Amino acid sequence: LKKVCGGWVEDNWDHGIILNCKDIDIISLCAEHGWKGATLVGNPTAENMAEFLFNKFNELLGKIKSNVEIVHIRLHETPNCWADYGTRDLTWN
């Protein structure tokens, strides 16, 4: 998981800016300056990012024919503020 999923985050999002794909002016500015950036359909809220990562990670794991499936993502904004996304309700302790 760390190699496949963590590697994707490091390569694509780590130390970069995540923008709404409609933010054309800012995307152009980033490209002009060679700044690392990525886009999402919609605003890059924790909720949208969690949903995107859930789907991306399952796609990546499917490509390597893994028997692992992501069923829940929790994306922390701060230590006590997060967004959850998944196909199952989980009880967190």
Write out the chain in H/E/C secondary structure: CHHHHHHHHHHHCCCCEEEECCCHHHHHHHHHHCCCEEEECCCCCHHHHHHHHHHHHHHHHHHCCCCCCCCEEEEEEECCEEEEEECCCCCCC
Q: Give the tokens for residue 79.
A: 């230590």
pTM over 0.85: yes
How many of the other CB atoms lie within 10 Å of CB of 45? 15
56-91 tens-digit pLDDT: 999 999 999 888 899 999 999 999 999 999 987 666
